[in-house]
Chains A and B, each alone.
Chain A
């Protein structure tokens, strides 16, 4: 099974406002997008577990025209709390890169 980093040309994360994190997975091409977009590792329940978020709140979008899957996750604590590790959320995509996709 390929890793996510091997089938995406670009993966990024960023705050979407102070209370949300949003992750964009740009797949290598349409073939890779079609093959892997339904992978169990990218379902909301799995993503919620990876980020310790409430699965009922995690939002997942398939942007077919761009071959992108977008995942939006409530931040565990709002931006800038007492233990803030990533003010802009710009590095929080990293744990996804090694995910194995069916």
Chain B
């Protein structure tokens, strides 16, 4: 790492993007390196896009997108000789997602002729271990979910614990060049290097929170990178692009973003409290924040767990017939009753547990609530979704409904219309429904209890293959 700056405590963290794989900018990273960062750090995961990624272990972003970002970041890391920290690898941060990321790192290292020392922080948890901790009363629900039980745990295909900063600090102590983390709080991966160098905990966690989504805390979020500098009593944040700006409002508003409480944020080992934070412009593109506090609390890790449920097959028709559009709610209700009856009569006992959902886009599909007095739309897209225990049954239900969905008349006893299918075959197998089941915290004896650190030193591998 570069020598300490004059204030002795400032830690500069180059945050190249809100997430690995979304497209870091080589030009911005270059500009960031000129400011002598101590580390490059970013997050690679999220639950934002749904449970499928944790339930399956597959990453949201493409392999090529992640590889391209890693090429830029690994080249920069090696040139500046500073560590690269990546949290929540492969979207979900489960073991398979971490290994997938390691594969790409190995490939990029070979391509760049590098041999970094890599620390892997695994945070996936065995269901049996979580059950044992739950039995001892060490797993607590967070509102609005109820207390954990064995059925809830068994419904999960993967369970991860969100790591804090300590495993990253230990990996930095072990001289890791690259740290690939399993699921981690977005903030911990950014705060770790500053906490290790003795920065104030309040500024470290608050600065990390502001920088977690990269350019989202700037005026132009299409520029992805920011530089975070954390000191003993304050932090500053500025965009990497010289033509972008952080303002008091763009920075302070970030505590609102995708956060249920704008003043307090629970992290492993404490809670960040920004009620007394003060924001000041340093220049026209840099903001300094003072007054952030971090109150220590008993150490807990949040758990995430997701699993696969039933399967769905969908169809869609477009409808422009004014007779239907004059009474969409009545039409949809009559059609739903007819389809449910058709499935029951045709499929018999197999129909048990099959769900049929109709959602008129252009009317109230998105909000699912009664529409206030309004003129009929010019057309709607009517989505049909059959949900069943297997994909085959869901498709059978859709095909059973097909002629009625296609020809259901606006008024009983009139000629049969034909609505507008956009595809043939009309039905589309959508796959499995994936759901989150855990919203709990687990008490741990130490920050390391639920993490397994593995070292991969590519220099040694190269030597042993020579």
Could you tell me the distance between the alpha carbons of A20 and B249 in the complex, rounded to whole angstroms? 24
Having A63-B256, A65-B279, one finds 19 other A-B pairs with CB under 8 Å, namely A15-B258, A16-B258, A19-B144, A19-B145, A20-B260, A24-B256, A57-B144, A61-B263, A74-B143, A79-B50, A79-B436, A80-B436, A81-B433, A82-B309, A82-B355, A82-B357, A83-B357, A91-B366, A95-B369
Q: Are A95 and B143 in contact (CB under 8 A)?
A: no
38-68 of chain B: CB within 8 A of chain A: 47-52
Docked-complex contact A19 and B256, CB < 8 angstroms? no
The reply to whether A85 and B433 form a contact with Cβ atoms under 8 Å apart is no
Q: Which of A1-39 contact B (CB under 8 A)?
A: 14-20, 22, 24
Q: Which of B49, B142, B310 contacts A82 (CB 8 A)?
A: B310
Question: Hey, which bits of chain B sit against chain A, CB under 8 A?
Answer: 47-52, 142-145, 249, 252-253, 256-263, 279, 309-310, 312, 355, 357, 359, 365-369, 372, 385, 387, 433-436, 439
- Is B367 a contact of A94 with CB atoms below 8 Å? yes
Q: What is the minimal beta-carbon distance from B466 to any residue of chain A, in angstroms? A: 48
A61 touches B262 (CB 8 A): yes
Chain B residues with Cβ under 8 A from A82's Cβ?
Answer: 309-310, 312, 355, 357, 387, 433
Question: Quick check: is A102 within 8 A (CB to CB) of the other chain?
Answer: no
> Which has the most chain A C-beta neighbours within 10 Å: B144, B279, B359, B365?
B144
Residues of A within 8 A of B260 (CB): 16-17, 20, 22, 59, 72
Interface residues of A in 67-88 (CB under 8 A from B): 68, 70, 72, 74, 78-83, 85-88
Complexed CA–CA distance, A74 and B258 (Å): 13
Contact flag A79-B359 (CB < 8 Å), given A57-B144, A61-B261: no
A16: which B residues are within 8 A, CB to CB? Answer: 258-260
A46 at the interface (CB under 8 A from B): no
Is B256 touching A18 in the complex (CB atoms < 8 A)? no
* Complex contact A95–B367 (CB within 8 A): yes
Rounded to whole Å, the gap between the CB of A41 and the closest CB of chain B is 15
Known interface pairs A79-B50, A88-B49; A18-B439 also in contact (CB < 8 Å): yes
A residues sitting closer than 8 Å to B (CB atoms) are 14-20, 22, 24, 54, 57, 59, 61, 63, 65-66, 68, 70, 72, 74, 78-83, 85-88, 91-92, 94-95, 98
Known: A17-B439, A82-B387, A87-B50. A66 touches B256 (CB 8 A): yes
- Residue B144 contacts which of A54, A65, A94 (CB distance < 8 angstroms)? A54
Cα-based distance from A20 to B260 in the complex (angstroms):
7
CB-defined A-B contacts under 8 Å, sample of 26: A15-B48, A17-B260, A18-B436, A18-B439, A19-B142, A19-B144, A20-B144, A22-B259, A24-B256, A61-B261, A63-B256, A65-B252, A66-B253, A68-B256, A78-B436, A79-B436, A80-B433, A82-B357, A82-B387, A83-B355, A85-B365, A85-B366, A94-B366, A94-B367, A95-B369, A98-B372
Closest 10 CB pairs of A and B: A74-B144, A72-B260, A16-B260, A18-B436, A80-B50, A20-B260, A19-B439, A80-B51, A24-B256, A82-B387
> Which residues from chain A contact B52 at a C-beta distance below 8 Å?
80
Chain B residues with Cβ below 8 Å from A79 are: 47, 50-51, 436
A83 to B358, CA, bound (A): 10
